[in-house]
A = this chain, B = another copy of it.
Amino acid sequence: MSDRIRIGMVGTGRIGKLHAQTLVQRVPDVALVAVTDVNTAAAQAVAAEVGVPKVAPSFEALLADDSIQAVVIASATDTHAPFIVQAAQAGKHIFCEKPISADLKAIDEALAAVERAGVKLMIGFNRRFDPNHQRIKQAIERGEIGTPHLLHIISRDPSPPPVSYIKVSGGLFFDMTIHDFDMARFLLGDVTEVYAAGGVMVDPAIGAAGDIDTAVITLRFTNGAIGTIDNSRQAVYGYDQRVEVFGSGGSASSGNWYADAVTLSTADNVRRGLPLNFFIERYTPSYQAELTAFARCLQDDTPPPVTGADGRAPVVIALAALRSLKENRPVKLSEI
């Protein structure tokens, strides 16, 4: 156990608990030695359930533990940027959940602190590690489908989060589409212009909270390609996560994942069960893969596969999308 990378984690909510379980059970090269949370009782419960030796009374206390080499930041979004700064100053390597912040200035300060400290920062865009998205990326890189012309991302949640969450999350573009903006960059590179069309179709309460629940976003890429992102807060049949890249040599497209591969044919229809319901079921392997990749970049001293710049770029797109939605016009990223 002495060779394992010693990790501390802040934030033991839904995603924090998932990361804790993943680190303990599925990433052999690390040791999760301490967790902390503003809700100490929650941190204690997770520590007991998952098997983490120590609960730190605060993030500061956790950072003060010299045996800890790296931190996983899975706390509320508005703490990400300041926690990055603190962790960098304490000389810890950092894995931070997306998004870093909705505020570019805060992001830039965090990235500057990381750079000054010379620590590694990896952003938790787990979908990059999903086998389907990886296979599509590979098809592009190998030239199996020629030069990409068009991209479509379907990204629909099974049901909306509580309106209380939407009020603090930054809204659809920041808590949900941010993943798709990153996926677009992962597959086709940098974006130059955004046009966002959206509406409130699922729940008027979401509209009353100042957000939309359904969107279609058009992206133009530096390489000339054009893409769309299709978002809905509510696909009644479950989590819908599909991507298609169309190019001069063909098309690569992914379907959803299912719990089984059984088809029933009866007098009514030919049917199968629903897709895996949500991100915890669908993206389990990608959470393991991203934390394994984080451990590996620390062990091998290589650059993290998802950098701080990768964390900043989709926020710029989200800000452009928000302006586009308000002004109903295409917005260049250079305007942000």
- Contact surface of A with B, Cβ cutoff 8 Å: 25-26, 28, 131-132, 134-136, 139, 144-147, 149-150, 152, 156, 195, 197-199, 201-202, 214-216, 218, 220, 224-228, 230, 232, 234-237, 240, 246, 248-257, 259-267, 269-275, 328-330
Contacts and interface: CB of A to CB of B under 8 A. Distances in A.
A149 B197 CA distance: 12
A109 to B, nearest CB: 34
Contact of A224 (B134, B199, B261, B266): B199
Contacts of A198: 226
Contacts of A254: 260-263
Contacts of A274: 265, 267, 269-270
Nearest to A156: B246
A218 B198 CA distance: 11
Contacts of A149: 199, 201-202, 214, 232
A335 B65 CA distance: 66
A199, A202, A240: residue with the most chain B Cβ atoms closer than 10 Å = A199
A262 B216 contact: no
Nearest to A244: B154
16 contacts: A132-B260, A144-B266, A156-B246, A198-B226, A215-B226, A218-B228, A228-B230, A234-B248, A235-B251, A236-B267, A240-B251, A250-B264, A269-B271, A270-B272, A328-B330, A329-B330
A147 B201 contact: yes
Contacts of A215: 226
Contacts of A255: 261-263
B224 A197 contact: no
A277 B135 CA distance: 17
Contacts of A263: 252-255
A144 B224 contact: no
Residue among A132, A152, A230, A236 with the highest chain B CB neighbour number at 10 A: A236
Given A252-B263, A253-B263, A329-B330, 16 more contacts: A132-B260, A156-B246, A195-B195, A195-B330, A201-B224, A215-B226, A216-B226, A216-B228, A236-B250, A237-B266, A237-B267, A249-B266, A253-B262, A254-B262, A255-B262, A269-B273
A152 B272 contact: no
A156 B261 CA distance: 17
Contacts of A216: 150, 218, 226-228
Contacts of A195: 195, 197, 218, 330
A131 B258 CA distance: 10
Contacts of A226: 197-199, 214-216
In this complex, the member of A237, A257, A265, A271 whose beta carbon has the largest number of chain B beta carbons within 10 angstroms is A265
Contact of A259 (B131, B234, B256): B131
B199 A230 contact: no
Contacts of A199: 149, 224, 226
Contacts of A267: 236-237, 249-250, 274
B261 A132 contact: yes
B260 A237 contact: no
B236 A249 contact: yes
A251 B225 CA distance: 27
Contacts of A227: 216
